């Protein structure tokens, strides 16, 4: 779909529903001492609840920066991001962290499991950080690990798991808090094609079941085709 002004288009398309993600004039510049690099320039779009969008682009096009900004892991030079109605850059860093804990789930290319925690403990961690009761956290985490097919690997450490298994743990960890949005950064980047496909299937399945809004950063065309919408970045600008 061709959208020079995606924001406007989305607003008109979903006027009745408030979008769960609303990005306006998002710009990120970096000072490298002498020159000012623009990594993202004037990005505008909206995502409705339950939608799945893919952010694609070549290496260095600003995909990861966009994801970081959407999740409030970084702050923009200009522009706003509303997540579930909240202007996240009006919050301070701690409030953003709290918001992440409530609303967001993450999957990363390098899995980012804590090496000193078992699979179960990795999944329990978000619940524990939100102050959940230990037994509750344990039971929920365990059921999620069963759900992603790792019932036999619960007590294993990340280093004892294969890449595919690690990413399954990451899926369980991402969904254990029932987030409204799942941000996935090249989730298959470190996996072989077959394993990657399994992981993606699992992710999309659970995503559908949970009605989660998915923002997927990838450079895999096939993968992006499975999303309802694609935002293509070229040198920091939204193309197409």
Residue 169 CA to its chain's centroid (Å):
15
- Map 10-72 to HEC letters: HHHHCCCCCCCEEEEEEEEEEECCCCEEEEEEEEEEEECCCCEEEEEECCCCCHHHHHHHHCC
Distance of alpha carbon 75 from alpha carbon 90, whole angstroms: 10
CA-nearest of 163, 24, 11, 35 to 87 is 24
Minimal CA–CA distance to 30: which of 66, 67, 77, 72? 77
Which residue, 58 or 114, is less far from another protein as judged by CB? 114
42 touches 5 (CB < 8 A): no
The smaller minimum CB distance to another protein, of residues 84 and 121, is found at 121
Among 4, 130, 143, 228, binds another protein (CB under 8 A): 130
Sole binder of another protein in the list 108, 140, 142, 233 (CB under 8 A):
108
Contact with another protein (CB under 8 A) among 43, 45, 82, 100: 100
Provide the minimum distance between the beta carbon of 65 and another protein in the complex, in angstroms, as a whole number: 8
H or E stretch covering 205: helix 193-210
Phi, psi of 21 (to 5 degrees): -125, 130
Q: Using CB under 8 A, which residues numbered 147 to 186 contact another protein?
A: 157, 159, 173, 185
Query: How near is the Cβ of 48 to another protein at its closest, in Å?
Result: 24
Contact residue for another protein among 134, 143, 205, 228 (CB under 8 A): 134
In the complex, least distance from residue 180 CB atom to another protein, rounded to whole angstroms: 13
Cα 198 from Cα 176, distance rounded (Å): 19
User: d(Cα 205, Cα 195) in Å, to the nearest integer?
Assistant: 15
| Residue whose CB is less far from another protein, 152 or 159 | 159
Stretch that binds another protein, among 16-24, 81-89, 116-124, 231-239 (CB under 8 A): 116-124
The answer to whether the beta carbons of residues 100 and 72 sit under 8 Å apart is: yes
Among 101, 210, 232, 235, binds another protein (CB under 8 A): 101
Q: Residues 197, 147: contact at Cβ < 8 Å?
A: no
Instruction: Decide if residue 212 touches another protein (CB under 8 A).
Output: no
The single residue among 71, 141, 202, 216 that binds another protein, judged by CB under 8 A, is 71
Give the nearest distance from C-beta 120 to another protein in angstroms.
Answer: 10
Exactly one of 22, 61, 64, 218 binds another protein (CB under 8 A); which one? 64
112 binds another protein (CB under 8 A): yes
- Please report, as ranges, the residues that interact with another protein according to CB under 8 A: 64-65, 67-68, 71, 73-74, 93-94, 97-102, 104, 106, 108, 110, 112-118, 121, 125-126, 128-131, 134, 157, 159, 173, 185
């Amino acid at each position: 779909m061709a959208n020079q002004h995606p924001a406007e288009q989305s607003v008109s398309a979903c006027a009745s529903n408030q979008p769960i993600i609303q990005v306006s004039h998002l710009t990120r510049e970096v000072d490298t001492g002498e020159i000012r690099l623009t990594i993202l320039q004037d990005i505008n779009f909206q995502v409705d609840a339950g939608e799945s969008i893919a952010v694609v682009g070549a290496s260095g096009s600003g995909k990861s920066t966009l994801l970081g900004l959407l999740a409030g892991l970084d702050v923009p030079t200009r522009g706003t991001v509303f997540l579930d109605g909240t202007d996240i850059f009006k919050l301070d860093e701690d409030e953003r962290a709290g918001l992440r804990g409530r609303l967001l789930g993450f999957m990363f290319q390098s899995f980012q499991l804590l090496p000193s925690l078992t699979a179960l403990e990795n999944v329990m961690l978000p619940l524990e950080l939100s102050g959940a009761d230990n037994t509750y956290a344990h039971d929920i985490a365990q059921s999620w690990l069963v759900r992603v097919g790792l019932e036999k690997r619960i007590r294993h450490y990340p280093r004892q798991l294969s890449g595919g298994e690690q990413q399954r743990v990451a899926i369980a960890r991402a969904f254990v808090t029932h987030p409204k949005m799942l941000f996935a950064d090249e989730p298959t980047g470190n996996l072989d094609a077959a394993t990657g496909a399994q992981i993606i299937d699992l992710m999309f399945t659970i995503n559908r079941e949970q009605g989660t809004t998915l923002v997927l950063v990838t450079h895999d065309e096939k993968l992006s085709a499975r999303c309802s919408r694609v935002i293509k970045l070229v040198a920091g600008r939204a193309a197409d």
